[in-house]
Structure 1
Amino acid sequence: MVVRKSDLPFGSEFSPSQIELAPVLELADEYGGDWRAFEKAVRETYFEGYNTSDSNKAKLANNTKLSMIAYGIIDRDANLTEFGRKLYEMRHNEEQLYVAMARHILLNLHGMNLIQCVKDIQAAGETVTLIKLRAWLDERGIHFPRGGKHPSIMRLWLEKAGILQPDSWDVNETRLQEVLGTSIKEFDILSIFTAEQRAYLKALTNIEGGTHLSNEIAKLATATYGVAFDEKNLPKQVLYPLQRAGYIKLERGTKSPGRGAKPFYVTITERFKADILGPLLEQIDTQVRSELRPLLRKSLDQILDELSAKETHIRGLALEALAFKLMHLIDLEYVGTRLRGSETGGAEVDLIFEGARLVYSRWQVQCKNTARVSLDDIAKEVGLTHFLKTNVIVIVTTGEIGTKARQYANKIMTDSNLCIVTIDGNDLAQIRSKPVAIVDVLNREARHAMTLKTLEI
C-alpha cells in the first residue's frame, strides 16, 4: 500500500508550547552537521524530565528534529538551512522571529491554503476541528494523515505572530495583512484566475521588472509551466483580466504597414509583489478546483446572481459552485468534474458526488444555465450511468424541465433502478430563499420515484 505524503508539515514535539524557538535554533547552530549530537541536546534540554522511558525520550527528540526538517529550518544532518539561518539571526528579537516563522508557514507550507479552508468552514457555519479540516483540505487535494496534528501545530505558530486569535481558529485579518503584505481577499482573487492567467503571472514573477512584450511572456509561461495560450485571444483571456485586477499595465504596440497589431507591452504594477505572488500561486496550483473556493464561500443567493455575469468564465464557475453548494447541503462528497463550465461557455457542468449514509450512492449532477432541459439532455446523462456507475442523476436548471424530458425520465425510472431528480428554476427560487427547502424538493422527487417503481406483488 502506497502511503501518501503529507502536504502539511509534520510538527510533533515542535509546538511553541513544547519548544522555545530561539534556544533550539542555538542548538542547531552548535551541533549542526552531527544530527545525533543535536538530538541528544534536544532530549536533554526539553525531554529529560519526562516520566517515560529513555527510548521514548529519544523518540521525542527525534520527532523535534524531523519537524524542524519538515518546516525547512534544518537539513537531515541538523545544519541550519538558509531559512533556519535567517531565523537564527533574529533569535534575540522574539516578535521578529515569530513573524518570520509565520510568514514562512503562510507562503511556503500551505499556510494560506489552511487559512482559506478555515474561513470556508466558518462561512458554512461549522466548527473548525481537525476532522473537519482533514476532510475539507482533502477535498481541495491537500492531505495530512488521519490522526495527525499538523494543522494544530501550524495554528500555534500562527497564533504566536498574532494571525490567529488565542486558542481559536479565528483569523485576525488585519494582522495577516501586516505580516504578509496581502490578504485573504487577494488570495481569493488569485484563486479565481484561470490556469492560463496564473501561469502568466508566475512567468512574470520569474523575470526582472520593466516592460516586456506580451507574447514573449506567454512563451516563457508555456515553456516553464506547460500551459498553452490562444495567441489570438491572449488579450481577452489573460491580459485584460490581469490588468483589471491591477497586477499589470498594458500599452498597445504600434501597427506596422501590412501587418497586424503588435503585441502589447506589459509592465507590472506596485500591486505585483513577486516574492509573495510566486509562493501563493504555487499553493493555489496544488488545489483541486481552486477557482471555486471563493465562490463557495458566497451565499447561494450570490452564486445564483453570478449566473448572470457578463464573463462566461464567471458564469461557468458559478454553475459549478451551485452544484457544490446544493450537494453540500445534503452532505455529499465531491468526487470529480466530468464537464466544466469553462468548456461550455457557462452553459452546463457535470460533476460526480458520493454518499455513504446508510447505503452507498453515487450522484451524477448536471447543472444547466439554459432556458429548458430537453429529452436529449437527460438521455445523454442516462447513457453515462453505466460508465460512471451512478445510481442517482440530478438535473438542475435555472430554466424549466421540458415535458418530453420529464416523460423520458419517468420511463427510465419505471424500467430501471435509476433515480432521476429534476430541480428547475422554481425550485431554485425556493432554495434561494430557504436553503433547507432542498430537503423538501428531494423528498418530493423520492416520493415520485417510489410511485413509479411500485412493485406489483
Structure 2
Amino acid sequence: MKSSFPNSSQFSPTQTTLPDLLLIVKQFQPDRDKIKQEISNRFFSSSPDKNISDNTIYALSEFQLLDKPKDNTSYATLTPLGESLAEKVIKNQLPEMYNEFARHILLNLHGLELVQCIDDLAFQGTKLTKATISKELQYRGYHIPNNGTHLNGMRQWLEQANLVEHGKWQVNQEILKKLLGNLDGVEIDEYAQLTHGQRAFAMAFARMGLDEALSNKVASYAHALYGVDFPEGGLPQSTLFGLQDIGLIVCQKTTSGQGAKPYVVKSTEKLMNKYLEPIFIAIENSAGIQYRKLIRMSFDEILVGLNNESKHKKGLALEALAFYLGRLIGLDFVKWRLRSVETGGGELDVIMEGANLIFSRWQIQCKNSTQATLEDIAKEVGIAQLIRTNVIMIVTTGRIGDKARTFAERIMRETNYQVILLDKTHLQKIKKDPSEITNILQAQSELAMTLKRNQIGVI
C-alpha cells in the first residue's frame, strides 16, 4: 500500500539543499538525464550508486515540485509550485520560499494532519517520537511504511520554516497560525465540524468576491461548482446559521415584499482569508482533521454530551463514542459513511479496519435513541454486502429490541457476518472499566461461534 505521506529518500535539508536543487532542475529542465547527473555531481559525488539521484527525482515528484511523466522517462520539469519556489530563490527570498513550501506541505501533503497529531499527543502527555506519532496516524486512517523516512523527512522540511523545532517534534503554534493566514487551531476545529454543504457555500461565496449577496444565488453557484444540493426552504437552518456562528458570514433576513425571501449574506474578514479554500479542501480530504476534536473527549464527557440539548453537541458526542470504542478495540479509522450532522445528531455510520492477527473490516452504527431496531440491522447488512464487511456493530444509548436481537442471530447463523450489539448497559460497564469491552466482545464472539457451527455441516 502506498504511503499517505510523500517519500523523502535522498531529499532532505541535510542531503539536498532545496535552493540548489531547484536551480539545478530549472537550469537543465526538461532533460531528465542531465538533471539526474547534476544532482549526482552536486550532492552524491562520493556515492558508489550511480542511480542514487533517481530517489531525489522521485521525492521531488512526491512533494509535487517536479513533473515527470510515466510515459516519458527522459522528461522532467518543475511544477508551477516548483517554479514559484525557484523564483524566490533567484530573488534571494529564502524565508518566503521555505514558508511557501511549508504551507504547501500543510495543505496538500497531509502536513496539517501531522502537526495536529503531534499537538494532540502532547495534549495527552504522550512522549513524542516517530513511533508514537506513526502509531497515532495509523489509528486515524493513514498508512506509513515500517522503517520509512516519510515522517522524519517532512519534519525536517517543516523545520526550515521554523514551524517545528529543530530535531524535535514540537510545533510552533504562532508560526502555524501565520502560515494559515492568521487561522488558529480552534478555528480549524470549527471548520472541521462544518458539513460538506456549509464548506461548499462558504467557498462559493468567497470565490464570488462580493461584500454581500442573496443566499439563494450563492447556493446556486455552490451547486454549479461543487454539485451540492441544498434543501428548499431550509437553507438558513442547514447552512447559514452555522457559518454565521463561527464568523464566516453575517446573514440578514430580507423583510420587503411578499412571500418567502432569501437571506442577504455578507462576507467577513475570515471568509476572505486567501487560504480558506485550500484549508477547506484539506479538511474534506482528511480523516485526521475531522477526527482530532473527537479523541480529546473523555468517556464521561461523551456520555454527558449524548444528553445535551444541543443537536450539534449530541452529534459530536456520538461521533466521539464511535472513535472511543474503535480505539479500545484497536481499529483504524477508514471513512465516514454517514455523519451525525446529517441526522440531527441522532445517528452515524463509520467504517473502521483492524489487523490484529487477521484483517477485519468493521461497520459501526451508533444511535442516540431509545432503541435499536430490526430495520437498523437490516440496513447495515445490505451495506455490508457491498463493502465486504466482516463485523457489523450496532451501538445504542437505549436498548436492543427483541426483534432486532433475534434478527441479528439469524444473520450470524445464515451468513459470514458477526453482528455485535451494544446497549446502554454495556456503555455503563465500559464507563466503570474500559477493559470490560474485551469481556463483552468475547461473550458475543462465543455466541457467534455457536450460531455459526452448523454452517460447516454442509461440507
TM-score category by the smaller chain? 0.7 to 0.9
CA root-mean-square deviation: 3.9
Cα distance in 2 for residues equivalent to 1:449 and 1:143: 31
* Whole-angstrom distance in 1 between the partners of 2:65 and 2:359: 45
1:363–1:393 contact (8 Å) kept in structure 2: yes
Q: Which string of whole-angstrom CA distances, capped at 9 and with x for unpartnered residues, describes residues 108-163 of structure 1?
A: 433213333444566675865479748846965x6677765333322111122222
Superposed displacement of residue 316, structure 1: 3.7
DSSP 3-state at the match of 2:163 = coil
Q: TM-score, with normalisation over the residues of structure 2?
A: 0.80
Question: For residues 84 and 373 of structure 1, do their structure 2 counterparts lie closer, same or farther at Cα, with a shift above 3 Å needed?
Answer: closer
Shift of 1:79: 8.1
Structure 1 unaligned blocks of 5 or more: none
Superposition deviation, residue 63 in structure 1: 3.3
Equivalents in 1 of 2:389, 2:23: separation in Å? 58
Using the alignment, how far apart are the partners of 1:35 and 1:416 within structure 2? 55
Structure 2: distance between partners of 1:312 and 1:182: 26
- Quote the residue 1:39 is aligned against: 36
What is the letter of the counterpart of residue 107 of structure 1? L
Deviation of 1:38 after TM superposition, in Å, equals 3.7
Q: CA deviation at 1:196?
A: 0.3
Q: Which residue of 1 aligns with 2:14?
A: 17
Instruction: Decide which moves more: 296-305 or 353-362.
Output: 353-362
Q: Which residue of structure 2 lines up, in the alignment, with residue 105 of structure 1?
A: 105
Cα deviation for residue 221 of structure 1 reads 0.9
Distance 1:366 1:71, change over 3 A: closer
- After superposition, where does 1:20-419 map in structure 2 within 5 Å? 20-32=17-29, 34-50=31-47, 52-53=48-49, 55-56=50-51, 59-60=52-53, 62-73=54-65, 76-78=76-78, 81-89=82-90, 91=92, 94-119=94-119, 125=126, 129=130, 133=134, 136=137, 140=141, 148-180=148-180, 181-256=182-257, 258-261=258-261, 263-288=262-287, 291-312=290-311, 314-334=313-333, 339-374=338-373, 377=376, 392-402=391-401, 419=418
Q: 1:201–1:154: structure 2 CA closer, same or farther, 3 Å change rule?
A: same
Between the aligned partners of 2:65 and 2:31, the Cα distance in structure 1 is 15
Partner Cα separation in structure 1 for residue 139 and residue 426 of structure 2:
31
Q: How many angstroms apart in 2 are the aligned matches of 1:427 and 1:340?
A: 23
In 2, distance between residues paired with 1:116 and 1:11?
21
Aligned-residue offset at 1:325: 2.0
Instruction: Call closer, same or farther: CA 1:79–1:350 in 2, change over 3 Å.
Output: closer
Which is worse superposed, 239-248 or 318-327? 318-327
* 2-structure distance, mates of 1:149, 1:155: 10
What's the CA shift string for 1:64-117, capped at 9, x where partnerless? 3443344444553358844224431453x5544433332232234332133334
Secondary structure at the aligned position of 2:274 is classed as helix
Shift of 1:330: 1.1
Letter in 2 for 1:152: N
Tell me the distance in 2 between the aligned counterparts of 1:242 and 1:339. Answer: 21
Give the C-alpha shift of residue 197 in structure 1.
0.6
Report deviation, 1:177.
1.7
The number of aligned residues is 444
Q: Give the Cα–Cα distance (whole angstroms) in 2 for the partners of residues 79 and 426 of structure 1.
A: 57
Q: Percent identity?
A: 36
Question: Structure 1 pair 251/406, CA: closer, same or farther in 2 (3 Å)?
Answer: closer
Partner residue in 1 for 2:71: none
- Looking at structure 1, the residues matched to 293 and 401 of structure 2 have their Cα atoms a distance apart, in angstroms, of 33
Residues 216-245 of structure 1 deviation map (CA, whole Å, 9 limit, x = unaligned)? 111111111111111411111111111110
Q: Is the 8 A contact 2:351 2:361 kept in 1?
A: yes
Paired residue type of 1:98: Y
User: How far is 1:183 from its partner?
Assistant: 2.6
TM-score (norm 1): 0.80
Distance 1:318 1:89, change over 3 A: farther
CA contact (8 A) 1:117 1:137 kept: no
2:398 touches 2:424 (CA, 8 Å); kept in 1?
yes
Kindly indicate whether the alpha-carbon contact (under 8 Å) linking 1:33 and 1:79 is maintained by their aligned counterparts in 2.
Answer: no
Conservation of the 8 A alpha-carbon contact between 1:191 and 1:293: no
For structure 2, list consecutive stretches of 5 or more residues without a partner in the other structure: 68-75, 455-459
